[in-house]
Amino acid sequence: MAEPSRNRDLDDAIASLRRFLRSRWEERDDVLFRTTAPLPVVPPAVARPGLRTPAPPQGVLRAAAPIPRPAYPAPALRTAMPLPRPMTARPGGGRPAVERHESGILNPNGSDRGKALLELYGRIKGCESCGLCKGRQHFVFGTGHSDARIVFVGEAPGEQEDKQGLPFVGAAGRLLNELLAGIGVSRDDVFICNVIKCRPPGNRKPELPEIEACELHLYEQLRIIAPRILVALGTFAAQSLLQTAQPIGRLRGRWLRWKDSDLLATYHPSAGLRAGSFKKVIEEDFQLLEKRLAKEKAGPA
């Protein structure tokens, strides 16, 4: 819905179609969403950013309850996309030349995940599901490696991101690059995107209909990439992904779960730009990530 229709019946029909699609997606409908095995039903949302739903009592947070490791993505997808993932760094130094597609995806034809992301980009880049499409210069899909083990999720593009069509390329992006470099991770080895793909005017907070329309794109990206680790940058990303109203101060600094991924939430880099104390806390959270990566590198004991 690019703009409110004058036809109430049409608005109602579109709203109920959207609710139906969302519920089928959440239940992993294998006809509508091409999964080959029934996947676990995600517990219903307890609260959503922007909604005045009361904060869930302690312990209700989805991540707090152990979620069994499901066959997610569907087994067919897994066999088609075997792990371990190729990273851009190669033994012996030197990086192979990687192609950066206009979408931001690196080497999109290099793997099945890359091709699937590219196909998704082609399908959604002209999205007109909410009014944000009217003011955008670019649909900011996301950037990085399609086979990344780590996906970083921010809030929404700002001015620079809208201009360049890439996420986190302004001041907050420079701090993110610095934080990544601090733990020895290259921006090109991870995937970086936002919950919202088009810039809200004047960088205002995204509104609920915009979130509802856009997070389906994010879920689809995450289904394809199937990262082991998700890093939620800031309140908005953490609350959107975890569907909670809990403050970021309570969510950050520990490993949580999001579907089949481990999730680490931290403050948004722009908070780190505003205050050194926040930057310090973000650095502490990135150290958790560094430790986790070092452990993975060492392999099972």
Q: Report in angstroms how near the CB of residue 156 gets to ligand URA at its nearest.
A: 6
Q: Which stretch binds ligand URA (CB under 6 A): 35-43, 91-99, 125-133, 148-156?
A: 148-156
Q: Give the burial class of 140: count Cβ atoms within 10 A of its Cβ; 0-12 exposed, 13-18 middle, 19 or more buried.
A: buried
Q: Which of 117, 144, 161, 218 binds ligand URA (CB under 6 A)?
A: 161
Q: Which stretch binds ligand URA (CB under 6 A): 16-24, 62-70, 74-82, 162-170?
A: 162-170
Q: Give the burial class of 256: count Cβ atoms within 10 A of its Cβ; 0-12 exposed, 13-18 middle, 19 or more buried.
A: buried
**Position 158 contacts ligand URA (CB under 6 A):** yes
- Here the tokens at position 208 are 């609920």
**Position 154 contacts ligand URA (CB under 6 A):** yes
Give, as ranges, the residues between 188 and 207 that touch ligand URA (CB under 6 A): 194
Nearest one of 161, 160, 143 to 152, comparing CA atoms: 143
Q: Report in angstroms how near the CB of residue 223 gets to ligand URA at its nearest.
A: 21
Q: Report in angstroms how near the CB of residue 161 gets to ligand URA at its nearest.
A: 4
Q: Which residue is nearest to ligand URA (CB)?
A: 154
Q: For 52, which DSSP code?
A: -
Q: How many residues bind ligand URA (CB under 6 A)?
A: 11
- Here the tokens at position 140 are 């900011």
Q: Report in angstroms how near the CB of residue 101 gets to ligand URA at its nearest.
A: 18
Give the chain's largest Cα–Cα span: 64
Beta strands in 203-280 (DSSP E): 229-233, 255-258, 261-266
**Position 157 contacts ligand URA (CB under 6 A):** yes
Rg (CA), the chain: 19
Interface ranges with ligand URA (CB under 6 A): 154-158, 161, 167-168, 170, 172, 194
